[in-house]
């Protein structure tokens, strides 16, 4: 049977004095400075603290965490025991922090059916529903104990929350997804239920990381301080090696700092109107509007110039329209290298996650005359069928984008030929249907071009309906053509591009959950590409479009 340990209110007593360095609890108002100090010199101080678990004395204090079961990931020969544990402990929520396979190695046996129902020993498990999102999948099971002389017991609902964004190596790039996931776990788990079961593969590293973040957020609220070191030391007495690496240890601090600095910015749509009034009417001590202050916090997202090496290579500099907006190396779109031609794998374009799918968007700049073939090469190599254009070719007498499609008939750019098949004008955007042919292979594909004309040369659109309409039209096209990446561009590929992608993700979440988080949505975009949603007016526009959407579609179901 899966090993487990249980944790409730715990009193930590003083230990005998130790000559080792003491790691005292951190007051919340010192957390930012402490994180900065410990992160210096390649996180040297985090490593020292991580390696000092068992040799440091602790002060006396009380902390409270949720009742939790730590478990290894079920194996084929333990899956029946796993479900028996779920039943006997009256568990209503399972937290899974590993994928079934990682680096081609089995990490966890699939202990649930893909569809229908299955017997695991004496426990029947039936799939009721599942929802796939970009960072996690939520599955709902009907679980029933059917053995014994008393006949089947009354069925119970068990929800599994499966975090899918933990990379094979290291830790997640950002803690935002984990914090959203943790909040969902707390929301889903009913108050009357038994312990939450948390597992990864071995049930130590990721499991411990999750539990420490959860416990320390509770401690933040109760005691206004943190003691990560003391907490980890204590739970390691109950299950060895919980929090397995110094990277996981520093990630805990990163997540706690994120939570402390920005808090919970999620809104129910029913509270949006009141929140907007507050943003526009409340002033800070420095006489800034609440909206301006909220947008100012986004400047805390550091532009990581050290991760822009490829775009800053001399051979690639001329391919960038704006030198301040260069893709990061870790999520740039990589083209296939042309034979015998160095540096031909670069285009100023970045993969951006959607609401349900990773790398759902490609944010890019408007093509230039000398990059237009690279643009169509990207469309072809990543099998894109939808292109969204948010700028005119010229604005205020300045070139903003090269015309990369035929006005009529056909046009050829290197190995790629475009044929215009149809042209239709909607209220605020033009639809162009084109056939893209790759000459060397003599293969063709359909591409639909959405050109939004509702963005004025200065400022933002006067109302949100046009943006709502084009987002809906793009989504319908995606459903018909398969969910390959959507290419989105303005001129530099940041301000309007970021606004469109932010709104696509925000409105998709409003439809699915009735929730929105404009701040964290934009913050996540800025961590993937500099200056996404560039101005406070564009940021305000995101809020206003959602309000327009709610006013137009009060039951959300009309937004297809």
**Beta carbons of 235 and 214 less than 8 angstroms apart:** no
Contacts of 271 by beta carbon, 8 Å cutoff, 6+ apart: none
CB 69 within 8 A of CB 35: no
Task: For residue 200, indicate whether it is catalytic.
Answer: yes
C-alpha to C-alpha distance for 487 and 385, rounded to whole angstroms: 8
State how far the Cα of 542 lies from the Cα of 468, in Å rounded to an integer: 11
In this structure, the number of other CB atoms found within 10 A of the CB of residue 420 comes to 17
Give CA–CA dist 537/475, Å, rounded.
25
Q: Is 464 exposed, middle or buried (0-12, 13-18, 19+ CB in 10 A)?
A: buried
For residues 284 and 293, is the Cβ–Cβ distance under 8 A?
yes
- Select from 370, 489, 354 the least CA-distant residue to 346: 370
- Active-site option among 108, 384, 490, 542: 490
Asked about 426 being catalytic, the answer comes back as no
**Coil, strand or helix at 46:** helix
CA gyration radius for the chain?
26
Spot the catalytic one: 200, 384, 401, 542: 200
CA 375, CA 436: separation in Å to the nearest integer? 12
Euclidean distance between CA atoms 375 and 327, whole angstroms? 15
- Single out the residue of 170, 262, 255 nearest to residue 215, CA to CA: 255
CB 501 within 8 Å of CB 361: yes
Helix (H) or strand (E) holding 445: strand 443-452
Half-sphere exposure of 122 (CA within 13 A, CB side): 15
- Nearest in space to 361 (alpha carbons), one of 502, 473, 461: 502
Measured distance CA(37)–CA(514) in Å, rounded: 40
Directed axis angle between helix 205-223 and helix 228-238, to 10°?
Answer: 130
**HEC assignment per residue over 145-200:** ECCCCCCCCCCEEEEEEEECCCCCCCCCCCCHHHHHHHHHHHHHCCCCCCCEEEEC
Cβ–Cβ under 8 Å, residues 508 and 560 = no
Catalytic residues: 200, 490
């Amino acid at each position: 049977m899966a090993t487990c340990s249980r944790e409730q209110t715990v009193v930590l007593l003083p230990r005998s004095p130790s000559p080792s360095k003491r790691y005292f609890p951190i007051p919340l108002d010192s957390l930012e400075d402490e994180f900065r100090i410990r992160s210096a010199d390649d996180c040297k101080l985090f490593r020292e603290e991580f390696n000092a678990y068992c040799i440091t004395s602790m002060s006396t204090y009380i902390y409270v965490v949720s009742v939790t079961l730590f478990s290894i990931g079920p194996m084929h020969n333990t899956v029946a025991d796993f479900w028996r544990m779920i039943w006997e402990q009256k568990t209503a929520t399972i937290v899974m922090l590993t994928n079934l396979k990682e680096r081609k190695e089995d990490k966890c046996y699939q202990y649930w059916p893909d569809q229908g129902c299955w017997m695991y020993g004496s426990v029947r498990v039936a799939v009721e529903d599942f929802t796939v999102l970009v960072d996690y999948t939520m599955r709902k099971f009907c679980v029933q104990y059917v053995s014994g002389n008393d006949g089947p017991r009354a069925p119970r609902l068990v929800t599994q929350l499966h975090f899918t964004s933990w990379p094979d190596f290291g830790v997640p790039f950002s803690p935002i997804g984990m914090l959203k996931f943790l909040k969902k776990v707390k929301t889903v788990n009913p108050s009357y239920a038994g312990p939450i079961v948390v597992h990864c593969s071995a049930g130590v590293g990721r499991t411990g990381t999750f539990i420490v973040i959860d416990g320390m957020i509770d401690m933040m609220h109760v005691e206004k301080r943190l003691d990560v070191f003391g907490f980890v030391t204590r739970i390691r007495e109950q299950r060895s090696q919980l929090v397995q690496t110094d990277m996981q240890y520093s990630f805990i601090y990163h997540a706690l700092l994120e939570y402390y600095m920005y808090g919970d910015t999620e809104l129910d749509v029913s509270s949006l109107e009141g929140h907007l009034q507050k943003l526009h009417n409340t002033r800070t001590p420095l006489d800034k509007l609440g909206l301006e202050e909220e947008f100012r916090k986004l400047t805390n997202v550091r532009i990581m110039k050290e991760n822009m090496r490829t775009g800053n290579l001399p051979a690639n500099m001329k391919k960038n329209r704006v030198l301040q907006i260069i893709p990061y190396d870790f999520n740039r779109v990589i083209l296939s290298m042309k034979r015998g031609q160095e540096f031909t794998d670069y285009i100023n374009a970045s993969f951006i996650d959607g609401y349900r799918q990773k790398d759902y968007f490609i944010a890019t700049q408007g093509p230039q005359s000398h990059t237009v073939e690279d643009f169509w090469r990207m469309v072809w190599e990543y099998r894109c069928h939808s292109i969204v254009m948010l700028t005119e070719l010229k604005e205020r007498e300045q070139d903003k984008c090269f015309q990369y499609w035929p006005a009529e008939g056909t046009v050829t750019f290197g190995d790629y030929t475009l044929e215009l098949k149809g042209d239709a004008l909607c209220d605020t955007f033009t639809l162009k249907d084109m056939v893209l042919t790759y000459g060397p292979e003599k293969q063709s594909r359909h591409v639909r071009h959405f050109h939004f004309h509702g963005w004025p040369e200065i400022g933002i659109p006067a109302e949100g309906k046009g943006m709502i309409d084009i987002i809906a039209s793009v989504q319908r096209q995606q459903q018909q053509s398969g969910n390959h990446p959507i290419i989105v561009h303005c001129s530099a590929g940041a301000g309007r591009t970021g606004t469109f992608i932010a709104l696509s993700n925000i409105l998709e979440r409003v439809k699915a959950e009735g929730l929105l988080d404009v701040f964290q949505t934009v913050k996540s975009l800025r961590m993937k590409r500099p200056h996404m949603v560039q101005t406070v007016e564009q940021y305000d526009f995101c809020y206003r479009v959602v309000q327009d959407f709610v006013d137009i579609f009060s039951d959300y179901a009309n937004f297809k």
